[in-house]
């Protein structure tokens, strides 16, 4: 399964059961409290690539086979120790973006979600019994009541709202001062993603939008979202920011944008897409 744009540039095959007969080095995505274990050099950061995780001098509480990247096995590991060996460090996944190979960053996002899912499903949420990991599928199962839990994904929409040659940007109450982005929000039970776009814009800034169009998606492992990117057109209303969610909001032209998110986020792609569109209209 080859992916592109916020995904894999080289081939990755998702698997649950480790293949027999494969020897040699593997990729080890080790996490302690959701911080990734990386080798640190002056030139770059790197994910450990060795035959056995124990060669690193660390203990794996649990390890989970993810699949094969360019033919080599990949594992997610819940690391017991909180101190990394010499020449290595534990870093927040956001910190390593841009310093780590992009494919390995994406795989790190997959790995941390598997580790966190396993940690959070040691016991059955229905009857309280101890769970076990299924051999043939990515699932935690209960022997008592037979409930199965699969890795959770929380779908969220993120949208670039346009009004002519202006783009709607807002500053969340928890953003650093001066940083603006496009609006986003989680999909609620029983609604379509298009309905979610309209509802979130109305709730957060009080305006009505239409012509909702899908643009792209991005896995967002902070902690387990799938971001679905859209464009939408302004229809009616005046901006009235929700006092809890939004500190400031306004319409911005492509040549007068405030501080915006970095390229790690699909938010930046949506903003850049707007800027490119305006340049084409000039």
Task: Give 78's strand partners.
Answer: 31, 62
| Residue 120 pLDDT grade (very low, low, confident, very high; cuts 50, 70, 90) | very high
CA torsion sign for 22, 66, 119, 83 is positive
Q: Indicate which CATH number applies to the domain containing 267.
A: 3.90.79.10
If asked whether residues 94 and 50 sit together in one domain, one would say: yes
- Write the pLDDT tens digit of every residue in 205-230: 999 999 999 999 999 999 999 999 99
**2 pLDDT above the threshold of 80:** no
Contact 180, 260 (CB under 8 A): yes
Asked if 164 and 111 sit in the same domain, the reply is no
Question: Is 4 part of any domain?
Answer: no
Q: What does the pLDDT look like over 174-192, one tens digit per residue?
A: 898 999 999 999 999 999 9
Question: What is the model's pLDDT at position 19?
Answer: 81
**If you compute the radius of gyration of the chain from its CA atoms, what whole number of angstroms results?**
21
| Domains identified in the chain, total number | 2
Question: Which residue, among 197, 206, 218, 215, has the nearest Cα to 261 in the 3D structure?
Answer: 218
Phi, psi of 115 (to 5 degrees): -60, -45
φ/ψ (deg, to 5) at 81: -75, 150
pLDDT above 70 as % of the chain: 97
Whether 137 is in a domain gets the answer no
On whether residue 125 sits in a domain, the answer given is no
The residues, any chain, with a CB within 8 Å of residue 213's CB and separated by 6 or more, are 230, 231, 232
8 Å CB contact between 27 and 75: yes
- Examine residue 142 and state whether it is found in any structural domain, yes or no: no
| Domain, as residue range, for 92 | 12-119
Is residue 136 situated within a structural domain?
A: no
**Which tokens belong to 258?**
């405030």
């Amino acid at each position: 399964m080859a992916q592109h744009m916020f995904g894999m540039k080289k081939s990755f095959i998702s698997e649950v059961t480790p293949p027999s007969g494969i020897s040699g080095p593997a990729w080890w995505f080790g996490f302690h409290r959701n911080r990734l274990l990386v080798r640190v050099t002056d030139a770059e950061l790197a994910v450990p690539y060795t035959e056995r995780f124990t060669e690193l001098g660390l203990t794996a509480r649990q390890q989970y086979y993810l699949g094969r990247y360019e033919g080599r096995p990949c594992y997610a590991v819940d690391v017991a120790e909180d101190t990394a060996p010499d020449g290595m460090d534990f870093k927040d996944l956001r910190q390593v973006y841009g310093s780590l190979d992009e494919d390995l960053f994406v795989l790190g996002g997959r790995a941390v979600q598997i580790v966190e899912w396993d940690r959070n499903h040691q016991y059955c949420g229905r009857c309280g019994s101890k769970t076990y990991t299924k051999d043939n599928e990515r699932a935690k199962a209960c022997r008592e009541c037979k409930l199965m839990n699969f890795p959770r994904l929380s779908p969220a929409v993120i949208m670039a709202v346009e009004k002519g040659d202006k783009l709607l940007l807002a500053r969340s109450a928890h953003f650093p001062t001066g940083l603006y982005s496009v609006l986003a929000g989680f999909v609620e039970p029983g609604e379509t993603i298009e309905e979610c776009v309209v509802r979130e814009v109305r709730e957060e800034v009080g305006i009505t939008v239409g012509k909702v169009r899908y643009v792209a998606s991005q896995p967002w492992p902070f902690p387990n979202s799938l971001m679905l990117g859209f464009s939408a057109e302004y229809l009616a209303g005046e901006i009235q920011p929700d006092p809890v969610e939004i500190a400031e909001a306004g319409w911005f032209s492509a040549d007068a944008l405030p501080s915006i998110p970095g390229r790690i986020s699909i938010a930046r792609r949506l903003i850049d897409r707007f800027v490119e569109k305006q340049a084409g209209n000039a």
